[in-house]
Structure formats: C-alpha cells, structure tokens
Amino acid sequence: MDGSCEIDISPSVGKFCAQFNNIMAVLGKYNNEMAAVYLTNSYWVPSMLYACEIWSLRNSSAHSVRVALNNSFRRIFNCCWQENPTSLLFYCGTFPALYTVDQRRIVFYKKLKHHSSILIRTIARLCQYDILSVAAKYGIYRLDNSVSFIKKSVWKTFAASVL
C-alpha cells in the first residue's frame, strides 16, 4: 500500500475476461453478435465496473479496463486487433468503458448530493469539485440536472467523438 487512494482493478478485469471467454465458447464459432453484445453489456461490464463510482484509478488500471472492453468487441465482430472499435461500440449503443465510469460517477454523486442524510450530503460536497471537473468534459456544469440529461450529455459527447 503506497498511501494513495488509487486502486488496482486487475482482478475485476481478469474476471471479466474469463467470463467473456466462457460465454464466447458457449456461443460457438457462428455466434450471434448482438446476443454477445447484449450479454457483455448486461453481465460482464457491470461485474467489471462494480463500484466504479468511487474509483480513483491509476492510468494503467484505466488502460486495462479500456483494453478489455475493446478487445471483447473486436472478438465479437471478428475485427483486426489494430482497429479502433469505437464505431462498433457506438453502433451497438455501448459507451467506451471510461465514459461509463464517468457517467456512473456523475449520477452517483448527484444522488449523494440530494440524499436525506446530512452526513452523506456533506461528504458529497467535499467531492463536488472533482465530480464537476469530470462532468464538465460532457458539458454538464451543475449536478442539479436530471439523470436523463446527464446520460444524454455523455452520449452526445461520445457520439460527437465518433462522427
């Protein structure tokens, strides 16, 4: 332990890869791509990103999360490993992993800010500037916006980066 709040999520990434490989083996060589995307988004991504709302990631951990999801889409669609899967993610309605982490963090802290407990609201205020700096990347400058506005803003930013 080095005293920082950064975490190593390699066990979660390893679990994701193992689960993904298992389901791809079950689906077989001639799998249904959209079924594989659905299963990836419904089961494995949530298990890999469990508690991401409170993560403070090292660059290497963020990179491993990004690579795991990108490689899963490359494998589902049988793409070249050098190709960027961003357009595949977009057309499947899937965020890149770090967009998902950012969106979850913003929504989580929005909920904390409006919690009934004064202690939890106070803790949320301590993290407010950090979360607002993340939210600003998506054109969100207040945490009073609706959850749907937050999700649409993150999606619009992702879509603009693809198109």
Tell me the average pLDDT across 61-68.
Answer: 87
Q: What percent of the chain has pLDDT over 90?
A: 47
Task: For residues 147 and 130, give the distance between their C-alpha atoms in angstroms, rounded to a whole number.
Answer: 18
Task: For residues 122 and 49, give the distance between their C-alpha atoms in angstroms, rounded to a whole number.
Answer: 25
pLDDT tens digits along 133-150? 999 999 999 888 999 999
Structure token pair of residue 113:
């800010």
CA terminus-to-terminus distance, the chain:
42
Whole-model pTM: value is 0.86
Q: What pLDDT score does 2 carry? A: 52
With vertex at residue 135, the alpha carbon angle to CA 146 and CA 126, rounded to the nearest 5 degrees, is 95
Judged against a pLDDT cut of 80, whether residue 1 lies above it is answered with: no
pLDDT tens digits along 11-21? 888 888 998 99
Beta bridge partners of 158: none
Tell me the average pLDDT across 108-117.
Answer: 91
The secondary element (H helix, E strand) that includes residue 151 is helix 147-162
* Angle between helical axes of 59-76 and 97-113 (0-180°, round to 10): 120
